[in-house]
Structure 1
């Protein structure tokens, strides 16, 4: 599959998910990226898939009604003497890679540069042309494979956190990040880039704690764009393609963080946002993959602040939301 075909395939799936969500009048959770609080992972390497791969595999699980969210490559199946069931269709996961070329000679020096990077040797990229591209490989759900070790077929759900436990983790993130949050009796939430602060409605205005944190993590996603943090460019005009991109990054970031904490994340019901995403996705097949990559980076940054301290249970559990 060529790189452009990979982007086309992923984008068409995401467009379908968004279209279906609009048709359902926003019922349910469009980003159900974890099952039983378990993210899609490779059952052999224990690697948890990242970025847009979570959406690809979640949609595959939903389509075929699988109970498990564990995956294997063809070579792993062979090494385990497993047998793929007749008629099984593989899913695919993607990862980014780079080619390196000498700017003067145009010689492919990828192998040399990778070896230098592997031993942390300094590389002068001023004289190198870097060409990013997507690679993919096929994976199979464990339910598509016979003769695997018994433990691979066992459902290992992580017990869902109670509301007080979710509050502990969420508040730890907010507190440890030292993000400035100003509560105002209003209906809008936004990130003030110039003053590097988040302005959000008062806690009591939210129907429940989950909705508060969904909103908070969306705005914290914008907060990560600051030059002091992940340095995303958000100097754009409202309504532009760049604006739509940043809003999608924030939505996906909130989805990743909330899924990690066991909070159900519903996509925004702002139809203008969704329609702008759909229009851009039809014109730019790399849009959603790039947004998911940036969102994963932002989510990692935010989740890193989660250092649960059970001694603070009472403090956080008493918050009225």
Structure 2
């Protein structure tokens, strides 16, 4: 395949996945919902049936979109071949969901094949794959999984956030991160409708703090209303969804999401790669948060 055809195929992947995400946001706009809001169950943690590994970055977002649209209740996914190897059969007529596998480009390949890099050290390209949910197959029985009681999940969330080492000051009526003092400001617990909302907002603001220069060094200088600000908000909302899914806690829309929805859609429509970038940065921040947790020997 020529480099021009490869570039066109990759652009189609970006456009296709972004279009599905935009459609999901617009469909739920009346309730100010986006694909990264979830109920904290297994469907929020998309996992591959063959490897047992969790999907990451934009693939998680794409599978959240598909699960929401089709009302799936389980987060187990696989390709047609993977399901067949698992002894199951994808039902005839079932519609696949597109995910992306990133592969490293050989140094000898032309520069215009780049899909992204890591400070010039890696050059990657995207290859699309079609996957199906466990609800779309016959002949597969999901092994039972243990679910921790809510009290244990919330205690885990409290410890998880404490381990981040980000200063938090409680009181007042607003939640925000102040870069100049590297401090998160949060209303008291009683100000929130439930514990899930409290931890979601706290993780959202800690998500902004993860971008500080001495952490992940994202640009936090843009003000409300700019495309860069909307992209940062989108990033930390996906981050909240990722981490809350890891903790088994639901992620509900915040009261102020109405102010962000239109700007998110505008950014995504202007640049089909924007959601890939936001999801990639969200995954990087989630990885950083997990790296702050004590290792269990």
Instruction: Provide the TM-score with structure 2 as the length reference.
Output: 0.82
The equivalent residue for 2:144 is 156
The equivalent residue for 1:212 is 198
Question: In 2, are the aligned partners of 1:21 and 1:30 still within 8 Å (CA)?
Answer: no
Question: In 2, are the aligned partners of 1:177 and 1:305 still within 8 Å (CA)?
Answer: yes
Matched, 1:243 2:220: no
SS of 2:163 mapped into structure 1? helix
The equivalent residue for 1:21 is 28
- Which of 288, 296, 302 is the matching residue for 2:283? 296
The equivalent residue for 2:11 is 4
SS of 1:207 mapped into structure 2? coil
Aligned length: 281
Question: In 2, are the aligned partners of 1:41 and 1:47 still within 8 Å (CA)?
Answer: yes
Unaligned runs of 5+ in 1: 102-106, 111-124, 310-321
Residues 158-202 of structure 1, C-alpha deviation per residue, up to 9 Å, x if partnerless? 41431x312321221222222111123x22111111221111222
Higher-Rg structure is 1
The equivalent residue for 2:129 is 137
Matched, 1:108 2:109: yes
Matched, 1:54 2:60: yes
**1:62/1:80 CA distance change after superposition, 3 Å:** same
Matches within 5 A, 1:86-235: 86-101=92-107, 107-108=108-109, 131-147=123-139, 152-154=140-142, 156-162=144-150, 164-184=151-171, 186-235=172-221
Q: Alpha carbon RMSD of aligned pairs, Å?
A: 2.9
C-alpha distance in 2 between matches for 1:301 and 1:198 = 17
Question: In 2, are the aligned partners of 1:96 and 1:133 still within 8 Å (CA)?
Answer: yes
Residues 271-309 of structure 1, C-alpha deviation per residue, up to 9 Å, x if partnerless? 231111111111111111211111111122223444599
Unaligned runs of 5+ in 2: 1-7, 112-118
Question: In 1, are the aligned partners of 2:100 and 2:126 still within 8 Å (CA)?
Answer: yes
SS of 1:140 mapped into structure 2? strand
